[in-house]
Amino acid sequence: MFEKELIEGCCRKERKYQRVLFDTFYKPVFRLAKRYIGDHHESEDVVSIVFNKAFKNIDNFEFRGKGSLRKWLNTIGINESLRALKKVKRLQFLEEEIEEKAIETVDSHLDLYKVNMILQQMPRGYRTVFNLYAIDGYSHSEIAEVLNISRNTSKSQLMKARKFIICELNKASSYGT
C-alpha cells in the first residue's frame, strides 16, 4: 500500500510525500535517462523534467497495483529521454557494418561495469534501439513508431548493437580488462 499512499499524498500536493516519491525513484529514473542520453548533466536535466511532469500530472495517474508508479515514471523517463535526443538531433542511425570476424565466444563472467561502459560507447542510434527493445521491452513496431523509423531499421540497429557489444566484450577479454 506504500505506493497508493504516496500517490494520494502527492495528489494533495503534500511536500513530504513528493519528497519521498522523488527520493525513492530518483536513482532508477536517473539510470534510465543515463542509459539513453549517456551524458550525466543532460540526464539530470531529463530527470528534472520527468519529476516536474509527474508532479504536475499525478492527479491523472491511475494506480494499477504495485509497480505501476515505477512503470509510469519509466514511461515518462523514456519519452523525455527520446525527446531530448531528438531535440538536439543527436539520434542518428548508422549504416556501417561491424566486422563479423570480431564476433567470437564471449566470457560468461560479465562485469556489469564493463557492460555499462560498452553501452555508453555505443553509437546513440544503436543504444537507443537496444535500450527500447532489450531492456524496456518495446517491440520493433513500437520502436519504429516512437522513433519515426521503419521496422526494418529498428531490427537492423538492434542487430548492429548486439554485434557492437559482442565485439567490444571480445576486445576487453583479449586485453584482459
Identify the residue with better confidence: 171 or 153: 153
Residue 135 pLDDT > 80, yes or no?
yes
Burial class, 69, CB count within 10 angstroms (exposed 0-12 / middle 13-18 / buried 19+): buried
- The number of angstroms, rounded, from the C-alpha of 171 to the middle of its chain's C-alpha atoms is 25
pLDDT of residue 48: 97
pLDDT of residue 8: 94
pLDDT of residue 102: 41
Could you tell me the pLDDT band of residue 120, with boundaries at 50, 70 and 90? confident
Which amino acid is residue 92, in one-letter code? Q
pTM (2 decimals)? 0.73
Could you tell me the pLDDT band of residue 90, with boundaries at 50, 70 and 90? low
Contact yes or no for 36/81 (Cβ under 8 A): yes
Give dist(CA 103, CA 106) in Å, integer: 8
Contact yes or no for 7/61 (Cβ under 8 A): yes
What residue spans of the chain are helical by DSSP H? Answer: 2-11, 15-37, 40-57, 68-87, 112-121, 124-130, 140-147, 151-174
Q: Is 80 left (phi over 0), alpha (psi -120 to 50) or beta?
A: alpha
pLDDT of residue 105: 43
Contact yes or no for 61/8 (Cβ under 8 A): no
Question: In whole numbers, what is the pLDDT of the chain averaged over residues?
Answer: 85
Residue 106 pLDDT > 50, yes or no?
no
pLDDT of residue 139: 94
